[in-house]
Amino acid sequence: MYFLIITFGFLLAMRGARPAPLQKPGDGLERILRNAADFFLTTSLILVLWALATAVEKIQPIALEYEVLGFGIAAYLFSRFQKKTDAFFFSVFASVFMIHSRQIDLFHGLSLVWAVSAGIAIFQACFLGLRYKLLFSDTPVSMRGWPSLCLLAGCISLVLWSLESLVF
């Protein structure tokens, strides 16, 4: 689950929505929390719908046969309904698939969804804070691009990696 947090945290921080406003970090944090709540609710809803589909005996064989297709269609429809980007759709689909493969029961799956959503929000908040600090410090202009962003993401991922054993 750690790689989900790092990969999709970085993907959603860079391409998930409009760039967070760096002049007002509070607005960026509000957007991060709203996106994390959307991610949690969308992923949880797909897992609950799958659990309901497998509980009904008449549609259980169909739900089990086409579960990956169902996950993809549900993630696509929910992301389009919320007017989210393709990065959000891909993140939800991959997270649902990976969490479904590791879950023991529905409650365990929902707790994993909560942990991944919280981890993505923490990653994005740290990334926003470091980008803000990098932009408004005396850092040379040549060091404010992609290499420094990747270095910051790597540092955040190392910190979160140390916390992985506590959560998962």
pLDDT tens-place values along the chain, 168 residues long: 666 666 667 666 666 555 555 556 677 788 888 888 998 999 999 999 898 888 888 888 888 888 888 888 888 998 889 888 888 888 888 889 888 888 888 898 898 899 888 888 888 887 777 777 766 666 666 666 666 677 777 777 776 676 666 655
| Largest distance between two CA atoms of the chain | 65
Paired tokens of 46? 């797909």
Q: What is the pLDDT of residue 60?
A: 85
**Distance in angstroms (rounded) separating the CA atoms of residues 63 and 55:** 10
Q: Kindly state the tokens that stand for 90.
A: 């891909």
106, part of any domain: yes
In a domain, 34, yes or no: yes
Residue 118 lies in a domain: yes
Residue reference for tokens 């607005």? 27
The number of domains in the chain is 1
Q: Is residue 144 part of a domain?
A: yes
Residue 51 lies in a domain: yes
Domain that holds residue 44: 2-16+26-167
Q: Is residue 21 part of a domain?
A: no
